[in-house]
Amino acid sequence: MARVVVTPSADADTAEIIADLEAKAGFVVAARYNASFERLYDILADFPGAGPPRPTLGAHIRIGVVLPYIVIYSHTETDGVVRVLRIVHGSRRISGKLLRRGAGASE
């Protein structure tokens, strides 16, 4: 089982998404999305290679989906850690620049 580490950038993304959802759709919807992110993290702990690779974003980068959001994470077999790097809306243009700007891994 891999250890899942949510970087400060991904944590800030989550807080912003949940606050926005709560303001626009209410507490229940926001809580459902928060639970969906947590379920995805549980899946990634058990199956870190489950998400499709995104080599254009960098080595070892994969994605998970909580519609309409894309969870961008990295995983290498050698360290046994899944690092959740960013969470973005699926309509957003995702580039390596986005990941470099949000780099930071608090473990």
Structural domain containing residue 80: 3-101
Residue 47 in domain: yes
Residue 106 in domain: no
Which DSSP letter does residue 92 get?
S
pLDDT digits (tens, 9 = 90+) for 6-60: 999 999 999 999 999 999 999 999 999 999 999 999 999 999 999 999 999 988 9
| Number of domains the chain is built from | 1
Please give the model's pTM, rounded to 2 decimal places: 0.87
- The CATH number covering residue 40 comes to 3.30.2310.20
- Close Cβ partners of 1 (under 8 Å, ≥ 6 residues apart): 45, 46
Residue 54 in domain: yes
Residue 83 in domain: yes
